Amino acid sequence: MSNAKTIKKAVLPVAGLGTRFLPATKAIPKEMLPIVDTPLVEFAVREAIEAGIEEIIFVTSHTKRSIEDHFDRNLELELKLSSSNKESYLDKVNLNEYEGIKFSFVRQRDQRGLGDAISQVSHLILPDEYFAILLADDLFDGNPGVTSQLMDAFKLHGKSIIAVNEVSEEETKKYGVISGELSGNLTSIEEIVEKPQSNPPSNLAVTGRYLLSGEIMEELKTLEPGFGNEIQLTDAIAKMLQKGEMLGLKYDALKFDCGSKEGFVQANIHFAKKQYIIS
């Protein structure tokens, strides 16, 4: 029996082309680009597992096979490491955290936007089930992780909840933007708009972590293309808002926008310092 108030599934859309990182992403998925020595996508997966997720569902494409390999075992490599005095690397290639975690992969055939990517897995999410969405491009350094912070708020309130942060007015153009009165770090969302090019409803930007009711799938089915002529998750959330309360959580963590070169380089510097690789 599914327990509506326990979130065990996370969806990670990873089908994007990674155009901004060409030529690196010609043959390598952008999610596999390393932050020091760890592929970007592994940070999101570990954050999800830390938050109690047991099933990771990737929305992928034919150019992203190495992501499947990365979350599988590589027995030949493990054997070589153990027989050549390199055992210390074993836990890097087969993390204990992955024990018991199910990884599934669903292909998105056309790139029609984030909302379209999420709707590809509608058959794996029940309407009365809540699930997490993590966009790997948004990399956080938080303790606990941002998904855990959302889970804690979800356990208290039992409602769909989105991670938000304050950005400058100029930057609101790049994000989903909500409005609502903050009480502490939580707000009831009044409005949500995808990438407002003028008159943003506030400076609270949506970041890539969501806990949503499976009802979103029904909204996505009938959605017309929105900003950028793409099916926008934000627009489906706006429709859900008309039916019931949703919350925004101002998380406590450092954020790196690894969809941009600047954020990607900054993340590398941050984690290299944290691991004492550079000072």
Binding site for ligand G1P (CB under 6 A): 114, 135, 138, 175-176, 194, 205-208, 232-234, 259
Instruction: Give me the least distance between CB of 209 and ligand G1P, in Å please.
Output: 9
Give the helix/strand (H/E) hosting 207. Answer: strand 204-213
The CB-of-127 to ligand G1P minimum distance in angstroms stands at 23
- Quote the tokens at residue 50: 């830390």
Q: Among residues 49 and 117, whose Cβ is nearest to ligand G1P?
A: 117
The nearest distance, CB 139 to ligand G1P, in angstroms, is 10
As measured in angstroms, the least distance from the Cβ of 248 to ligand G1P is: 12
Residue whose beta carbon is closest to ligand G1P: 176
How does DSSP assign 162-173, residue by residue? Answer: EEEEE--GGGGG
Which one, 145 or 176, has the nearer CB to ligand G1P? Answer: 176
Report how far apart, in Å, the C-alpha atoms of 40 and of each of 137, 210, 229 are: 7, 18, 28
Nearer to ligand G1P, 50 or 230 (CB): 230
CB nearer to ligand G1P: give 138 or 215: 138
Tokens 């690397």 correspond to 89
> Taking the complex as a whole, how short is the minimal distance between the CB of residue 175 and ligand G1P, in angstroms?
3
**Which residue matches tokens 């027995």?**
75
* Of residues 214 and 226, the one with the C-beta less far from ligand G1P: 226
- The rounded radius of gyration (Å) of the Cα atoms in the chain is 19
CA distances for 195 relative to 164, 171, 199, 202, 241, angstroms? 14, 9, 10, 12, 18
CB 43 within 8 A of CB 12: no
